[in-house]
Each structure stands twice: as C-alpha cells, then as structure tokens.
Amino acid sequence: MLVCKFGGSSLADAEQFKKVKEIILADKNRRYVIPSAPGKRGDGDEKVTDLLYEAAAARQVGSPFLHILERIRYRYERIAQDLQLDVPLEAEFTKIASTMMTGASRDYAASRGEYLNGLLLAEYLGFPFVDADRVIRFDKNGLLLEEETNSLIADTLSSLPNAVIPGFYGADEEGNIHTFSRGGSDISGALVARAVNADVYENWTDVTGFRMADPRIVPDAQYISSMTYRELRELSYMGASVLHEEAIFPVRRAGIPTNIRNTNDPKHPGTMIRHNADRQANEHIITGIAGHKGFSIITVEKDLMNSESGFGRRVLEAVEECGLNFEHLPTGIDTMCVVLNEKELRPHREQLVQRIVELTHPDSVTIHDHLALIATVGRGMVRNYGTAARLFSAISAQGISIRIIDQGSSELNIIVGVDEDDFDKAVKAIYDAFVRV
Ligand code: ASP
C-alpha cells in the first residue's frame, strides 16, 4: 500500500488536480492521500498559506482581512468550477470568516488552506475526507503527540479503503488547531504512512527528486536515484531542501522508504530513500554535495592544551552559556576550533571570547568569519581509497584554500570550510572531480 502526499504546486489549480487524479488512478495501491494547500501556479503567484497568514496578521492588528479571504475563495472556486465539484465553499468561507472574527488562532487560519484543498480533492477522487483535527494530535502547547496520533490514524483508517487527510495541521484534545512548521504536510504524510504501515511513502512535488548538487551552482547536476535516510539527513542539514527535515523520522523508524516523485513527470522514478540503500545503486562514489554560507570559526590556541583535562568542556561551557549551538568541532594538538552560525554568534561575540578567556586562559582566541561549509556525502566513500585526496586536490587545483576539514566518524561525509567567495567554485570543483570523470 502507498501513502501519497502532494505538495502545493501539485495542487495549485484544476490542471494539477487532473494530474494528481491520474497518478492516484494509475495504481490502486495509492489509497491514502495527503494534500497541501494550493501553491504557486508560476512565478509571481501567491501561495494560499501565505495569504492565510496575511489575513490572520491583519485580523490580529484589527485591519480588514475579508478581502484577503475573498482572494483565497476565488482560487478554490475556480478549481471547483473547472472540475465541476460540488463543495459548499460559500458556507465554508462564512464559517472561516466568523471563526477568525471571534479570535481564532493564527494556526487555525493557516490550516484552512489544506482543509479546503482536502475537501475538494476528496470530492474529486471520490474518497472519504478525514479531517486531520480528528487524527493528528497535539498537546495544548502545539507539540505533536506522536504515539497518540499513530493510534488515532491507524484506528480511523482501518475501516476505510482509501481517504484524503489534509496535511500540515491537527488539533489538541480541546479541538484547538495547531500546525507544524512551514512545509509540514510532509510530516503529516509521514505520520499517515507510518500508521498504516505503508510499503512506500510517496512524496509528490515539482522536482524529480534530489540532485547531486544545488542546480543554481551546477545547472545540470544529476538526480540521485537512491540514498539512505542518514545521507539525506546530512544533505538536508547542509542545505538540500526538498523534504521537511522532520518528515523522515516516523517513516525511517518504521522502515518505510520515502520516494520523492514529480507530479509533472510521473514516469520518472525520482529519488528513493531507504534505511539501507544498495551500494551499487549509484553510479558515483559520492551521493551528493550540499553546503551553505554564513559560518564563523573560533580558534582557541594554548600550548600543551592536549594534556589539560577538561579544556574542551570549558570551551563548550562558554558556548553553552551564550545560548549557542555549535556546528563542528575540529581539534588539533594545541588548538581547538568551534564552528558556529555567524548570525547567531553576532550578538554574543564579545561575551563568548571573554568567557573562553576566563575559563581556559588560552594563548589566543581568534574569530574568522564568512566561512562556507561544504559537505560531500556518500555511503560509498568508506569503501573507496583516496576519496579525501581526490576531494582536496580538486579544491586546491582551483587555488582555493581549505580552512577546516571535518570527516564524520561514520565516514559518510567529509566537510570542508572555505571562504564564502570560493563557495560556488569549490562545489563545482568537487562535482567535476567525482561526477564528470
Ligand atoms: N501549506 C503549508 C506551507 O505552505 C504546508 C505545506 O505545504 O506543507 O507551508
């Protein structure tokens, strides 16, 4: 059995709805469907969710917001008319307006995008509509109650051969609506996939899976046909964004693969993400390259640091006292480096340096800004000799100097830090060295 989540651009208008129906009808195993709210129909268009947030913000400050709801209604009405669907949109919008008027939360407003799209899609597919407020359970602070949710979905869907369950939101015990963070329909889909023990969680979007590098840097970057959840974690942490970061956990734990597919190119198999992926499945040693700019590196130097017990702990204590998270921790014999997010560090720079000095009495503390980190990820790297050498020589052949190197102990990735100005050039060089050979 397959659980299918469709993103906003896959359901942005009637034409897209038709493609979705074709996809669902093409395989009767596609039984449970999780829609997003209508997204952009092209450049310059608006996402319904953004409009709903705009309406909620206007209402909160006492400004008119009904005209924004009208714009949203028009989007749904066009879809309903084009597909000749009989959904009481007028009554729904009257209810949304009056609920917002009486002080409904921002989350309530935002969730209506998925709710209404769910109603339309259920009608269009002829599937029952199961409101997410019945099956996705949050606590009153908006924290997902995963086990409760799992039982609720499993119980509710066990008697339904198919259903449409809107993404992005759920409710607490008292019926108050809560949403996930932006892009959270991916999480809803993963929760449903886990609860019904799907064979595959299909995540339908407008790209044909993950690419080996950001196409804004490497325009013809190849698609990744297969990868592991661990590789995906590494790549998305470093910037590859196709799937919501939290969407992998429910399915990964349950051993369910996630398949990223393109609604506009349904024949393409997309990217399959599994717990264990076949080593031979990819043509190249590396799976992908990801990274981003905006890091700072703090270098603490002290002679004989290596024989001073508790030195590292004290440096990290200073980092923690400033409320900062560190990204990496490359260390040498007499030096220790802490890589931090530059923007987060900014308001705490002086305090942090001062605390490090007080706690560790170092010979020097220096901060180097404008660092970019690049992760080269691949489960195949561990088996291959010379991967690191190839990576470093590719970068140095471009005259780029490497500021830091960090190889995860899993040997799943090698991270290098370069100056921000060298970022694109370094990514291209790594791609060329491993893919264009
Ligand atoms: N519609 C919501 C958003 O735009 C959630 C989603 O699409 O996953 O963030």
Exposure string for 233-245, b = 16+ CB within 10 A, e = fewer:
bbbbebebebbbe
Pocket probe for ligand 1: among 36, 48, 72, 205, the residue whose CB has the most ligand atoms within 8 Å is 36
- What is residue 437's predicted lDDT score, i.e. its pLDDT? 82
Closest to 132 (Cα-Cα) out of 5, 318, 317: 5
Task: Verify that 189 and 328 share a domain, yes or no.
Answer: no
Domain residue limits at 74 = 2-206
Distance 326 CA to ligand 1 centre (A): 29
- What is residue 66's predicted lDDT score, i.e. its pLDDT? 96
Does the CB atom of residue 37 touch ligand 1 within 6 A?
Answer: yes
Exposure string for 119-132, b = 16+ CB within 10 A, e = fewer:
bbbbbbbebebbbb
Distance 8 CA to ligand 1 centre (A): 7
Three-state helix/strand/coil letters over 392-417: HHHHHCCCCCEEEEEECCCCCEEEEE
Q: Which two tokens stand for residue 210?
A: 């993950």
Residue 18 lies in a domain: yes
Task: Verify that 292 and 411 share a domain, yes or no.
Answer: yes
Distance 109 CA to ligand 1 centre (A): 13
Q: What is the residue with the minimal CA distance to atom 2 of ligand 1?
A: 183
Distance 104 CA to ligand 1 centre (A): 19
Task: Verify that 176 and 305 share a domain, yes or no.
Answer: no
Does the CB atom of residue 184 touch ligand 1 within 6 A?
Answer: yes
Name residues of the chain where pLDDT drops below 70. Answer: 277-282, 409-410
279: number of Cβ within 10 Å: 12
- Per-residue pLDDT of 85-127, as tens digits, reads 999 999 999 999 999 999 899 999 999 999 999 999 999 999 9
- Of 206, 240, 259, the last residue of a domain is 206
Does the CB atom of residue 49 touch ligand 1 within 6 A?
Answer: yes
Residue 141 lies in a domain: yes
Residue 236 lies in a domain: no
Task: Verify that 189 and 336 share a domain, yes or no.
Answer: no
Distance 241 CA to ligand 1 centre (A): 14
The mean pLDDT of the chain is 94
What is the domain-level CATH number for residue 352? 3.30.2130.10
- Of 206, 234, 263, the last residue of a domain is 206
Does the CB atom of residue 182 touch ligand 1 within 6 A?
Answer: yes
Task: Verify that 200 and 343 share a domain, yes or no.
Answer: no
Helices (H) then strands (E): counts for the chain: 15, 15
- Per-residue pLDDT of 412-432, as tens digits, reads 889 999 999 999 999 999 999
Residue 200 lies in a domain: yes
- Of 148, 180, 206, the last residue of a domain is 206
373 forms bridges with which residues in the sheet? 292, 417
Residue 217 lies in a domain: no
Residue 124 lies in a domain: yes
Task: Verify that 200 and 313 share a domain, yes or no.
Answer: no
Task: Verify that 187 and 294 share a domain, yes or no.
Answer: no
- What is residue 276's predicted lDDT score, i.e. its pLDDT? 82
Does the CB atom of residue 270 touch ligand 1 within 6 A?
Answer: no
- What is residue 242's predicted lDDT score, i.e. its pLDDT? 86
Does the CB atom of residue 243 touch ligand 1 within 6 A?
Answer: no
Residue 231 lies in a domain: no
Does the CB atom of residue 189 touch ligand 1 within 6 A?
Answer: no
Task: Verify that 313 and 414 share a domain, yes or no.
Answer: yes
Does the CB atom of residue 36 touch ligand 1 within 6 A?
Answer: yes
Does the CB atom of residue 8 touch ligand 1 within 6 A?
Answer: yes
Alpha-carbon distance of 243 to 204, in angstroms, equals 10
What is the domain-level CATH number for residue 188? 3.40.1160.10
Number of structural domains (the chain) is 2
